[in-house]
């Protein structure tokens, strides 16, 4: 009987005998290396047998697993690994199928050691570049199983950590094997990403990992490689780094869902950590896709709690800071539109105390506090986004935000707020704060293009409101726009400086564009400075900001004409403080006196005219002795030292316009302009450029009619266009718009319901009328050149020029030689 078995054993196929020989009698001895070399040589010599070798090894491994002979299982996997590393022939696909079948068998086992063994073999296989493609191989099981291992809850913490790390390595292997092979199943499909990404985030969250350390993965030490958190981060970075343009959304969406499901937005720390890893790992040109997804998620959570929305906004803030310049993408205004919409909704929620418009008194206070934190976060995020934009795009954003600010009587207020004036005011303040952030650090060489009238005029209109907070924000915006050499901090405090060289001001020559800007908008700026000083509600911050604005105008945009106007403005402010008709409190009058003194002290040293400086310093010295409450050192302090009332002041404590005109006239300044007191034009503030265009249109029409009239000599002069005329035209324009709208409606109805013949006749008549008018115009404007042969009379009694050949023309004798 034993002889028969021996005979049958000798008849076994050679590949089976070679496979059997690699297994020792005692599995503790390990793989028989000499026999393994024979098996490898045979597989390389006869590659067509490779699939049978794999199938037989798989059969033996399954039998050993069932019999719990785990030593032989390890030997079989080691043999498979060596064959896989050595063979790269075309027949390897069938061998790989057997190999994956065995790995799957190990992963299905409930023994942690077998799961880790199977994972390690799979990782080795994943690092092999195959020469031939595989059209039918599926990795769905491995994605699911490795994801499950990442969430292992094994009792022993050390074994649990090993299983989780094996799962992470397995997912990393799946990604490496499939991400660059178009013939494989698409690993970026949501069905796979929804398993891979949450598994990685789960392990990333489980460790103490408060912040991403660096913008790129580091070469970790051996000790760090033992940490599941570090391994997870490297795997996550590798996954994101391989993501192409079309795959970013599928990779980021599971992150958003995981943060939602586990309420991780409120803590902010982990969410910020995740998106730092994402922003540093993906290709920089894809950054705007992540930002757009975050914005869309913010919109989707519009009615969620303020903490959740604030967490998303904080992540946006960090993402914008990491993103390179211009990474906001092609939809720049859409980014800001989303943020401004969230700001508006937050104000609405704060006022109503509810997300659905109903008032809930019990939670209103807490909700209002949270909403304010959200509003501040949104404003900071707007500024962070703006800092990544070039100058021209930032100008567009400034104009865009300005168009969103509600103007009383023009823009609609919040539809659902209980208190419309309060809602309008809050939105004005929030949007102006956003503009403060956007304009911070704004640099431009051409003020005219960076600050068009469509932006500057509405902005200046807000400086005339009664709300002191709004006026202060407008002044801060103006300071940011005008300051191009970082001189603003040097004017932060109002004081009398005997030598301004200690300020180390950066003064540059005024360019042609700056001259044009001041010529166009200078009077507007002067007027609003004057009106700002005239406001009784102005406080210390307002006057300090107005002084800084005057100082920046003198340093950044001043030519000789601007200097003259600014001196006239300062003297007009002194007259304003002297006047009792305005009803200003004592503090405001003293503050205006101190502001004018500080500014004249600054401008006289900038002009470097000795006599001018002498007069200013003499008046300041007299004030220091007799009226210190007219100087900034006694006014702009925590407890101002003010008199109970201001007596009528005259003489040496006042700056004299006649004296200043005299001393500056000797240095070549325009004495006529200097001697003319500055008087602001008290007109209705043009809040919309449309009003100006209406007035220009009316005056143009009157001028054209008077010029083209055939009875020009007999007609009376055109009526003078006054302010009342323009005002009446604006009022009447509302009725005209209604009439025009009704006329258009009738035309539409006519073309919809009238017969075709009637419409054709109407259009034909209009075409005939147009042609006759054109003929008249051509007869007037297009005439042939005069001919020496004179004119001939047409059949209608009109003289008509004729063209005569040159040889028939009769020239005078003096023209012929």
Dihedral over Cα of 450, 452, 457, 458: its sign: negative
pLDDT classification of 237: cutoffs 50, 70, 90:
very high
Judged on CB neighbours under 10 Å (0-12, 13-18, 19+), 17 is middle
| Number of C-beta neighbours around residue 130 at 10 A | 14
Task: Enumerate the β-bridge partners of residue 801.
Answer: 791
Q: Is the pLDDT of residue 640 over 90?
A: yes
What CA–CA distance (Å, rounded) separates 553 from 559?
10
At residue 344, the 3 state secondary structure works out as helix
What CA–CA distance (Å, rounded) separates 21 from 34?
9
- C-beta separation of 240 from 278 below 8 A: yes
- Percent of the chain having pLDDT more than 90? 40
- C-beta separation of 688 from 661 below 8 A: no
Instruction: Please give the model's pTM, rounded to 2 decimal places.
Output: 0.71
Q: Is the pLDDT of residue 305 over 80?
A: yes
- C-beta separation of 269 from 211 below 8 A: yes
Is residue 182 one of the residues assigned to a domain?
no
**Which structural domain range is residue 519 located in?**
483-687
- Summarised one tens digit per residue, pLDDT across range 397-448 is 999 999 999 875 444 434 444 456 788 889 999 999 999 999 988 888 888 8
Is residue 630 one of the residues assigned to a domain?
yes
What CA–CA distance (Å, rounded) separates 378 from 467?
23
- C-beta separation of 627 from 583 below 8 A: no
How far CA 713 is from CA of 138, 706, 707, 780, in Å, comes to 96, 10, 10, 20
Residue 356's pLDDT is: 65
What CA–CA distance (Å, rounded) separates 674 from 571?
10
Is residue 528 one of the residues assigned to a domain?
yes
Q: Tell me how many domains the chain contains.
A: 2
Which region among 2-11, 85-94, 276-285, 729-738 has the lowest average model confidence (pLDDT)? 2-11
Is residue 519 one of the residues assigned to a domain?
yes
Domain edge (last residue) among 687, 721, 743:
687
CA angle 664, 667, 670 (to 5 degrees): 60
- Percent of the chain having pLDDT more than 70? 79
Is residue 652 one of the residues assigned to a domain?
yes
Is residue 523 one of the residues assigned to a domain?
yes
Cα Rg of the chain (Å, integer): 42
pLDDT classification of 773: cutoffs 50, 70, 90:
confident
- C-beta separation of 626 from 592 below 8 A: no
pLDDT classification of 167: cutoffs 50, 70, 90:
very high
Closest to 60 measured CA to CA, from 105, 4, 11: 105
DSSP summary character for residue 503: G
Q: Is the pLDDT of residue 683 over 80?
A: no
What CA–CA distance (Å, rounded) separates 578 from 774?
65
What CA–CA distance (Å, rounded) separates 766 from 772?
10
Domain edge (last residue) among 628, 658, 687:
687
Residue 608's pLDDT is: 87
How far CA 623 is from CA of 497, 600, 602, 619, 653, in Å, comes to 15, 14, 17, 6, 6
Contacts 24+ apart (CB under 8 A), 667-675: 667/607, 667/609, 667/612, 669/560, 669/563, 669/564, 670/560, 670/561, 670/564, 673/561, 673/564, 673/565, 673/568, 674/564, 674/567, 674/568
Residue 711's pLDDT is: 41
Buried-exposed string 216-235: b where 16+ CB fall within 10 A, e elsewhere: ebeeeeeeeeebbbbbbbbb
Token reading at 809 = 């023309």
Task: Enumerate the β-bridge partners of residue 428.
Answer: none
Helix-, strand-, coil-residue percentages of the chain, each rounded to 5: 70, 0, 30
Is residue 651 one of the residues assigned to a domain?
yes
Kindly state the average pLDDT of the residues 173-182: 79
Higher per-residue confidence, 125 vs 186: 125
Residue 364's pLDDT is: 45
| Helices and strands per DSSP (H, E), number in the chain | 34, 2
CA angle 33, 37, 38 (to 5 degrees): 120
Residue 324's pLDDT is: 58
What CA–CA distance (Å, rounded) separates 685 from 522?
16
Cα dihedral: 28, 29, 34, 40 (round 10): 10
What CA–CA distance (Å, rounded) separates 627 from 629?
5
Is residue 611 one of the residues assigned to a domain?
yes
- C-beta separation of 207 from 227 below 8 A: yes
Closest to 170 measured CA to CA, from 192, 143, 189: 143
Which of 531-535, 684-688, 754-758: highest mean pLDDT? 531-535
Closest to 307 measured CA to CA, from 336, 251, 346: 346
- Summarised one tens digit per residue, pLDDT across range 115-152 is 999 999 899 888 877 666 665 678 899 999 999 999 99
Judged on CB neighbours under 10 Å (0-12, 13-18, 19+), 113 is middle
Residue 690's pLDDT is: 33
- C-beta separation of 432 from 469 below 8 A: no
Residue 2's pLDDT is: 41
Closest to 588 measured CA to CA, from 531, 537, 626: 537
Domain edge (last residue) among 654, 687, 720:
687
Which of 377-386, 788-797, 801-810: highest mean pLDDT? 377-386
Chain centre distance of CA 519 = 32
Higher per-residue confidence, 608 vs 194: 194
Q: What is the largest CA-CA distance in the chain?
A: 150
Residue 36's pLDDT is: 86
- C-beta separation of 443 from 510 below 8 A: no
């Amino acid at each position: 009987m034993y002889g028969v078995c021996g005979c049958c054993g000798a008849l076994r196929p050679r590949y089976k005998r070679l496979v059997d020989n690699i297994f020792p009698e005692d599995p503790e001895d390990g793989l028989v290396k000499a026999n393994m070399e024979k098996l490898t040589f045979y597989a390389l010599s006869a590659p067509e047998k490779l699939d049978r070798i794999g199938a037989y090894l798989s059969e033996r491994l399954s039998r050993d697993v069932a019999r719990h002979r785990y030593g032989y299982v390890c030997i079989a996997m080691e043999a498979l690994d060596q064959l896989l590393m050595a063979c790269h022939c075309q027949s390897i696909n069938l061998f790989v199928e057997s190999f994956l079948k065995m790995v799957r068998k190990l992963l299905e086992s409930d023994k942690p050691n077998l799961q880790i063994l199977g994972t390690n073999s799979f990782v080795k296989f994943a690092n092999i570049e195959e020469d031939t493609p595989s059209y039918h191989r599926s990795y769905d099981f491995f994605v699911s199983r490795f994801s499950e291992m990442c969430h292992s809850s094994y009792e022993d913490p050390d074994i649990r950590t090993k299983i989780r790390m094996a799962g992470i390595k397995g997912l990393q292997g799946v990604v490496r094997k499939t991400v660059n092979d178009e013939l494989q199943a698409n690993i970026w499909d949501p069905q796979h990403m929804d398993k891979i990404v949450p598994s990685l985030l789960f392990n990333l969250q489980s460790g103490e990992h408060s912040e991403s350390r660096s913008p790129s993965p580091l070469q970790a030490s051996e000790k760090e490689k033992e940490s599941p958190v570090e391994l997870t981060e490297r795997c996550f970075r590798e996954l994101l780094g391989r993501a192409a343009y079309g795959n970013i959304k599928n990779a980021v969406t599971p992150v958003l869902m995981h943060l939602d499901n586990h309420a991780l937005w409120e803590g902010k720390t982990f969410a910020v950590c995740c998106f730092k890893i994402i922003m540093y790992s993906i290709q920089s040109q894809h950054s705007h896709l992540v930002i757009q997804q975050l914005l869309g998620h913010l919109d989707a959570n519009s009615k969620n709690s303020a903490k959740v929305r604030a967490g998303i906004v904080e992540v946006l803030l960090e993402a914008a800071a990491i993103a390179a310049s211009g990474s906001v993408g092609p939809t720049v205004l859409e980014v800001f539109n989303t943020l401004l919409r969230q700001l508006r909704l937050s104000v609405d929620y704060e006022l109503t105390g509810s997300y659905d418009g109903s008032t809930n008194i019990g939670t209103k206070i807490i909700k209002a506090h949270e909403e304010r934190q959200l509003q501040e976060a949104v404003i900071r995020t707007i500024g962070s986004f703006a800092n990544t934009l070039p100058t021209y795009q930032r100008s567009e954003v400034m104009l865009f935000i300005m168009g969103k600010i509600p103007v009383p009587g023009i823009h609609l207020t919040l539809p659902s707020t209980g208190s419309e004036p309060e809602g309008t005011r809050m939105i004005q303040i929030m949007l102006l704060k956003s503009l403060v952030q956007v304009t911070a650090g704004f640099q431009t060489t051409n003020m005219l293009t960076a600050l068009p009238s469509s932006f500057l005029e509405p902005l200046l209109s807000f400086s005339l409101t009664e709300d002191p907070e709004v006026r202060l924000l407008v002044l801060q915006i103006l300071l940011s726009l005008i300051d191009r050499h970082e001189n603003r901090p040097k004017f932060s405090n109002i004081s009398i400086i005997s030598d301004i060289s200690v300020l180390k001001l950066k003064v540059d020559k005024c360019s042609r564009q700056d001259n044009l800007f001041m010529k166009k908008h200078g009077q507007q700026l002067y007027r609003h400075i004057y009106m700002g000083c005239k406001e009784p509600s102005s406080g210390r911050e307002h006057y300090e900001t107005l002084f800084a604005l005057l100082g920046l105008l003198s340093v950044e945009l001043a030519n000789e004409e601007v200097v003259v106007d600014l001196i006239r403005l300062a003297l007009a402010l002194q007259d304003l403080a002297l006047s009792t008709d305005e009803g200003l409190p004592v503090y405001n009058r003293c503050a205006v006196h101190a502001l004018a003194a500080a500014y004249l002290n600054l401008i006289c040293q900038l002009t470097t005219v000795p006599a001018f400086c002498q007069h200013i310093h003499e008046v300041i010295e007299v004030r220091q002795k007799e009226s210190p409450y007219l100087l900034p050192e006694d006014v702009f302090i925590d407890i101002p030292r003010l008199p109970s009332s201001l007596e009528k002041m005259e003489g040496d404590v006042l700056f004299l316009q006649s004296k200043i005109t005299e001393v500056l006239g000797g240095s070549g300044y325009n004495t006529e302009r200097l001697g003319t007191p500055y008087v602001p034009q008290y007109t209705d503030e043009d809040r919309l450029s449309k009003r100006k265009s209406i007035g220009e249109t009316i005056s143009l029409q009157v001028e054209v009619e008077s010029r083209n009239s055939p009875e020009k000599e007999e007609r009376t002069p055109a009526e003078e266009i006054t302010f009342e005329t323009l005002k009446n035209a604006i009022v009447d324009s509302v009725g005209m718009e209604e009439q025009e709208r009704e006329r258009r409606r009738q035309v539409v109805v006519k073309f919809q319901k009238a017969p075709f013949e009637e419409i054709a006749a109407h259009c034909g008549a209009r075409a005939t009328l147009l042609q006759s008018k054109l003929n008249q115009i051509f007869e007037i404007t297009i005439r042939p050149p005069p001919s020496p042969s004179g004119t001939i009379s047409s059949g209608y009694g009109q003289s008509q020029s004729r063209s005569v050949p040159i040889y028939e023309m009769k020239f005078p004798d003096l023209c012929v030689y």
